[in-house]
Amino acid sequence: MGDVKELLRLLGQIDDELVSCMRCGMCQAVCPIYAETGLEAHVARGKIALLEGLAHEALKDPQAVMDRLDMCLLCGSCAAGCPSGVKVLDIFLKAKAFLAGYLGLPPAQKAILRGLLANRTVFGSVMTVAAKLQGLVTRPANEVIGTSCAVFGGILGGRHFMPLAKTAFHTSLPATRLPARSGQPTVAFFYGCMVDRMFPRIGQAVMKVLLHHGVGVLSPTDQVCCGIPALSAGDLKTFEKLVTENVAVFGDAAFDVLVTPCATCTSTIKKIWPDMCDGLPGEIRAKAKALAAKTMDISEFLVKNLGLAAPAAPPAGGKKTKVTVHDPCHLKKSLGVFAEPRAVIAQNPEVEIVEMAASDACCGCGGSFTLKHYDISGRIGKRKRDAVVASGASVVTAGCPACLLQLSDMLSKAGDAVTVMHPVEIYAQALDQGGPGTGGNTP
């Protein structure tokens, strides 16, 4: 069992936040898990009812409570539409932390989170070796999307996945700090684990766009994971360690805005760090909250801070590439960012945006959820794939690497020739073509 005082603190916070739920059932109408299973236990309302007796249930059958909480994508659909403003994600994350502290982490999970994720040097070494050896157990699956699949079909549940990049993004940075052009801001670039190890092309596109506009860039290579994988598993200790290390890297640095190209990282730093860092020392807690206040999604930054705006009308002439937009849950529902990615995409005169049906419907990934419940994740993802294909677009974009993974898997397994990209990549392509912009530094 974990520290008793810490467990009691979490339990008290959970009790304080539960009282605002009116049991209206609005969450039932928007929950993607309920849409698949039809079980009240999988709706936020059902989980909250269970958590009201958390202290008792933890003594009775704590693993059953944790299993119920794990049946959640943490997409925030319930919280976004809650008329009472219940902070559902906060409640669930704190409840997971309480239960993991009470039960202890399973050995395999503890090894991955505390032995690997929480150790930057070990994590980097393992990922580098894995990137070199992955070809031994994988084969190409879809050339358009760039996915691979396991040589032995049973491995990874038949997924089509994006392979690890041969070269991590942070190793290709021209410098850890580049000066701003006169009158332009300086940003701290939090690129995140998935951009670094799986989608370095997104990091390169961000750098190209920022430097094109003369923005100064601070991009320290000793940054670590934002902590959400650990917190989603209830590992508050690892989460706090990662927050503390990132605060040490960014907390005293001179910059105007912290930008990320990952919706989940943005939402975690901006909304979850302030709510889940009460157990940290006061100075670290204050710096974490200050960083949260300065954090923005890359598309939001380009539009709101650099004045990037969608053209009044698309340029005439020529056949354009049709692009459809998936709105990540952590971007639209948690942060209210959805017009900005479209404005960024529209900077490329060679594209035409065509909206898919239910663009903000969850893709079904949910981070570790897809590892534990791939059957449900896949069914939700197939609906998203169907919407992408029905739009007639040859490119689908999303401002979240986890969503890009899910979209790639679903489209690849269906044999679709649909390219999967981040909105900033499409803008960066326009710069290659001599598109809009005012010029500035180059990488």
Residue 234: pLDDT above 60? yes
Q: What DSSP letter does each residue of 307-336 carry, written as one string?
A: -----SSPPPSS--EEEEE---HHHHHHH-
Residue 309: pLDDT above 70? yes
Compute the average pLDDT of residues 192-219.
97
Compute the average pLDDT of residues 55-73.
82
Residue 349: pLDDT above 70? yes
Compute the average pLDDT of residues 265-292.
96
**Measured between alpha carbons, how far is residue 172 from residues 128, 156, 207, 437 in Å?**
14, 30, 11, 24
* CATH, domain range 4-104: 1.10.1060.10
pLDDT (tens digit per residue) in 163-186 = 999 999 999 998 999 999 999 999
pLDDT of res. 434: 47
Q: Which two tokens stand for residue 208?
A: 């190209």
Compute the average pLDDT of residues 334-341.
97
Triad 165, 167, 172: Cα angle to 5°: 130
Q: What percent of the chain has pLDDT over 90?
A: 75
Name the 3-class secondary structure at 442.
coil
Distance CA 264, CA 328 (A): 9
Reported pTM: 0.93
Residue 437: pLDDT above 60? no
pLDDT of res. 56: 65
Q: What DSSP letter does each residue of 182-203 carry, written as one string?
A: TT--EEEE---HHHHHT-HHHH
Of 54, 153, 42, 145, which is closest to residue 99 (Cα–Cα)? 54
Compute the average pLDDT of residues 238-257.
98
User: CATH topology of 4-104 equal to that of 321-432?
Assistant: no
Contacting residues for 147 by C-beta, under 8 A, at least 6 apart: 140, 141, 160, 161, 162, 163, 408, 409, 412
Domain ranges of the chain: 4-104, 321-432
> Within 13 A of 331's CA, how many CA atoms are on the CB side?
33
Residue 441: pLDDT above 50? no
Q: How does residue 157 score in pLDDT terms, banded at 50, 70 and 90?
A: confident
Residues in the chain: 443
What mean pLDDT, rounded, does the chain reach? 91
pLDDT of res. 438: 35
CATH of 321-432, one of 3.30.70, 3.40.50, 3.30.1370, 1.10.150: 3.40.50
